[in-house]
Amino acid sequence: MNAKPEKACQICGTTEQSSLRRAISVRPAISKLISQTTGGWNENGWICLEDLHEYQHRYVAILLEEEKGELGNLDREVLKALEEQELLSKNPNIDFEANRTPGQRLADTIATFGGSWTFISIFGVFILIWMGLNTWLLATRPFDPFPYILLNLVLSTLAALQAPVIMMSQKRQEARDRAQSVHDYQINLKAELEIRQLHQKIDHILSRQWERMMEIQEIQIELINEIRKGL
């Protein structure tokens, strides 16, 4: 009696049974890509998971290149995440906050305090006390008599220092927003690619099920005809 042929991957030849999948379960688009690359493909054969994932990755890369013309670094990161089944859903603000320098932390703190009602209240009280001291309490020998030239110098210096600090904080916020936009783009692209693959897989399964049902129906019709002939 002839020995039963051992199952093996058509591409790499591996015989590890736990990693083998039937070639008929591979989607038509990927089967076509494998056939074009290797020069042959038998749907009645087998393929290992490693080669299947490799050609799925190639197929997705081809789709992106056809739509965009050229893959960027962000697209390659998404493809890598798809290939390695990594999660992209994370909070980019955590890494952004962890990488802040002491100067950036100080700028953010000053900008936050300078744009609050607390700062406005304290600053208003400070100006009133300054003007009160130099107008009434120290009327005989004020250190900054009216029109308060020293006060104007202090205010000008404060404004000159506060403006670049606020601009630094705004630039950091813009960088944070750009990082968030890039992260959202990667998540949306990965979700779109996975949904597309899922649709293709479902269509392929439904198509194969329909073919099997038609085969079963034809066999049933043949059996019915044979039974009728025997009666």
> Are residues 48 and 101 located together in one domain of the fold?
no
Domain span including residue 12: 1-71
Q: Is 111 inside a domain boundary?
A: yes
Q: CB of 71 within 8 A of CB of 65?
A: yes
Please tell me whether the overall predicted TM-score, pTM, comes out greater than 0.85 for this model: no
> Are residues 12 and 112 located together in one domain of the fold?
no
> Are residues 106 and 211 located together in one domain of the fold?
yes
> Are residues 63 and 146 located together in one domain of the fold?
no
Q: CB of 137 within 8 A of CB of 128?
A: no
Q: Is 7 helix (H, G, I), strand (E, B) or coil?
A: coil
Q: Is 34 exposed, middle or buried (0-12, 13-18, 19+ CB in 10 A)?
A: buried
Residues 112 and 107: their CA atoms lie apart, in Å, by 8
> Do the bridges between strand 46-48 and strand 20-22 make them parallel or antiparallel, or are there none, so unpaired?
antiparallel
Q: Looking at 14, 37, 71, which one is the last position of a domain?
A: 71
> What is the structure's pLDDT at 69?
57
Q: Is 200 inside a domain boundary?
A: yes
User: Phi, psi (5° rounding) for residue 225?
Assistant: -65, -40
List the chain pLDDT tens, one digit each, 231 residues: 444 456 788 888 887 777 777 777 777 777 888 888 887 777 778 888 788 878 877 777 777 776 665 556 666 666 666 666 555 556 666 767 777 888 888 888 888 888 889 999 999 999 999 988 888 877 778 888 888 899 999 999 988 988 888 888 888 888 888 888 887 877 787 777 777 777 666 766 666 676 667 766 766 676 677 677 666
User: Phi, psi (5° rounding) for residue 48?
Assistant: -85, 160
Q: Is 103 inside a domain boundary?
A: yes
DSSP 124-172: HHHHHHHHHIIIIITSSS-SS-TTTHHHHHHHHHHHHHHHHHHHHHHHH
> What is the structure's pLDDT at 1?
40
Q: Is 6 inside a domain boundary?
A: yes
> What is the structure's pLDDT at 125?
94
Q: Is 77 inside a domain boundary?
A: no
Q: Looking at 18, 45, 71, which one is the last position of a domain?
A: 71
> What is the structure's pLDDT at 152?
92
Q: Is 76 inside a domain boundary?
A: no
Q: Looking at 40, 71, 102, which one is the last position of a domain?
A: 71
Q: Is 83 inside a domain boundary?
A: no
> Are residues 50 and 105 located together in one domain of the fold?
no
> What is the structure's pLDDT at 82?
64
Q: Is 18 helix (H, G, I), strand (E, B) or coil?
A: helix
> Are residues 162 and 204 located together in one domain of the fold?
yes
> What is the structure's pLDDT at 3?
46
> Are residues 98 and 210 located together in one domain of the fold?
yes
Number of domains observed in the structure of the chain: 2
> Are residues 205 and 178 located together in one domain of the fold?
yes
Q: b/e string for 149-179 if b means 16 or more Cβ within 10 A?
A: eebeeeeeeeeeeeeebbebbeebeeeeeee
Q: Is 194 inside a domain boundary?
A: yes
Residues 126 and 121: their CA atoms lie apart, in Å, by 9
> What is the structure's pLDDT at 100?
80
Q: CB of 112 within 8 A of CB of 166?
A: no
> Are residues 66 and 95 located together in one domain of the fold?
no
Assigned token pair, 104: 């950036």
Beta pairing partners, 9: 46
> What is the structure's pLDDT at 102?
85
> Are residues 99 and 208 located together in one domain of the fold?
yes
> Are residues 51 and 119 located together in one domain of the fold?
no
> Are residues 154 and 230 located together in one domain of the fold?
yes
